[in-house]
Amino acid sequence: MSNTTFSNASPRILLSSDSHHLISSVRNALLRAGFSVDLASDYGHLELLWQQLRHDVVLFEVCQPSSIESATESAIRIKRQDAQQFIGYLADASMQMSGLTGDAIFSRDAHKLPQALREIFDEHL
Give 51-67 pLDDT, tens digit per residue: 999 999 999 998 888 88
Confidence grade of residue 91 (pLDDT, cut at 50, 70, 90): confident
What CATH number labels 12-123? 3.40.50.2300
Q: How many CA atoms lie within 13 A of 11 on its CB side?
A: 27
Three-state SS string across 11-42, please?
A: CEEEEEECCHHHHHHHHHHHHHCCCEEEECCC
Of the two residues 1 and 46, the one the predictor is more confident about is 46
Q: Rounded to two decimals, what is the model's pTM? A: 0.86
Long-range (24+ apart) CB contacts under 8 A made by 48-53 are 49/14, 50/14, 50/78, 50/85, 53/12, 53/14
